[in-house]
Amino acid sequence: MNTYGLLASLKLKSIHGTLPDKVHSIEQDSRKVKQNSLFICIRGFRSDGHAFYSEALKKGATIIVAEEKLAIDHTKHALVIVKDTAKALAILANKYYNYPSKNMTVFGVTGTNGKTTVTTLINQLLQKNNQQAALLGTNGMQLLNESLESNNTTCDVLTNQKLLHKAANLGIDHMVMEVSSHGLDQGRLRGIDFDVVTFTNLTQDHLDYHKTMEHYGNTKGLLFAQLGNNLTQEKNAILNRDDPWYEVYNCMTPYEVISYGIYKDADFRATNITYHVDRTSFTLLSPEGEFTVTTKLIGEFNVYNTIASIASVYARGVISVSDLVTSLSDMDCINGRMQKLEIDAPITIYIDYAHTPDAIEKAIASVYPFKQNRILFVVGTGGDRDESKRPFMAEKASVADYVVLTINDSRYEDTSSILRDMEKGMQHNNYVLIENRKSAIVHVIEESEPGDIIIIAGKGLEEYQIIEGKKQPHSDKKIAVEKCAIKYNLNV
């Protein structure tokens, strides 16, 4: 790309040295720098990109963008000094990739729980109704027949623009994105032109980062502010009418709000809900009339997720509610989200991602309608993350008949301290502490009896654990299936 055209987007800057005519890539990771790259120094939480400019120069960078003067030979390289490299990166990345989000409909989904389920449902609803859609979130990017891994729910600003550009070039006209509070607070979504933004719910999580629920909630609200204020564009906010933050977010956008819920009057409302072990049915009241909805997802929280996804797709005015409801009937459950394992055993096992007090409470509540014997619950939490929620997670888990407290990802924290924090919240003596997650799963299945329901929570479909900063292979599902086969003499 022409260097002068690219840098013209930045107003507050000083240039030292002679700029090359072309820039062949923009990089913020010095390890990815190639010949004629522009390297931008970003101050992160764990490292400062200004410390790696020399490495970038050795690899062929011809332009360094920084917030301070650096020891650079201006006869060979150019230094561009800006006020804020994080904001400069968003501006440059959008310019370099030709503002890809403007060429597609972009859905953004935020909230404490339900983001992965709602985005997956939106993506599937679009695809089943002949729309070219892609998904970017916790499980990486689902782009046509290609899957790309991601380390975060919300990618960094440069990666987001690269992926949006790639999707646009492949003919994708609908992009569905999970939006985390960290991503919003750190500006990873700057420059993305959202068309529909959806709010699921707000409950305690990430207070190690946000410190207060007020800051956490207001950070989520940045997504609604990012819709903009240009009323010549047709945009919508989809809000949970039953959540206390509804009124706050309703005031944050000038665009039309479409509400959904169960208990309060809403544009999309579920009534006459019936729960089964492998499905849920309800009557949907909508702007286009009443419909009977059947989904393979279970639990009240998944009723919310289902109607949120219907309302989100409806907002674009391309697919009728009737067609959306029809599409839902043959859609599979969401992997790792209250996913019932298909095993021929006298027990029922669900794999779930629940790792907040609210999600744990709802996971257990979702199986109570068809409880035959006991509910056994494996619950873990992560190290080096929000410590304040640990006892509350255990407190919510206490309503199960038997609880196994374990670890999700210890990272660098001592596992015994994590378990002690959780143990403080236990309300009964119906529990055991097992640090090793595999051993915890093996134990709960060994303790099971015919008619029991087991929920293994905290990891979902993740196939690794982070221990001492390193990813180690681990699959809750695989361990559960293998142990179940041994205990109940199954052929798997």
Binding residues: 30, 111-117, 152-154, 180, 186, 188
Minimal CA–CA distance to 437: which of 459, 453, 413? 459
Give burial (CB, 10 Å; 0-12/13-18/19+) of 87. middle
Q: Residue 295, CB half-sphere, CA atoms under 13 Å: how many?
A: 30
- For residues 334 and 124, give the distance between their C-alpha atoms in angstroms, rounded to a whole number: 11
- For residues 107 and 25, give the distance between their C-alpha atoms in angstroms, rounded to a whole number: 27
Binding residues for ATP: 111-117
Q: What are the structure tokens assigned to 348, written together?
A: 């029922």
- For residues 352 and 327, give the distance between their C-alpha atoms in angstroms, rounded to a whole number: 24
Minimal CA–CA distance to 224: which of 267, 200, 194? 194
Which sign, positive or negative, has the C-alpha torsion 123, 127, 129, 130?
positive
The DSSP letter of residue 143 is E
Geometric angle at alpha carbon 173, from 134 and 26, rounded to 5°: 75
In order, the DSSP letters of 28-52 are: SSGGG--TTEEEE--B-SS-BGGGG
- For residues 282 and 447, give the distance between their C-alpha atoms in angstroms, rounded to a whole number: 35
Residue with tokens 């240009």: 230
Geometric angle at alpha carbon 301, from 439 and 433, rounded to 5°: 20
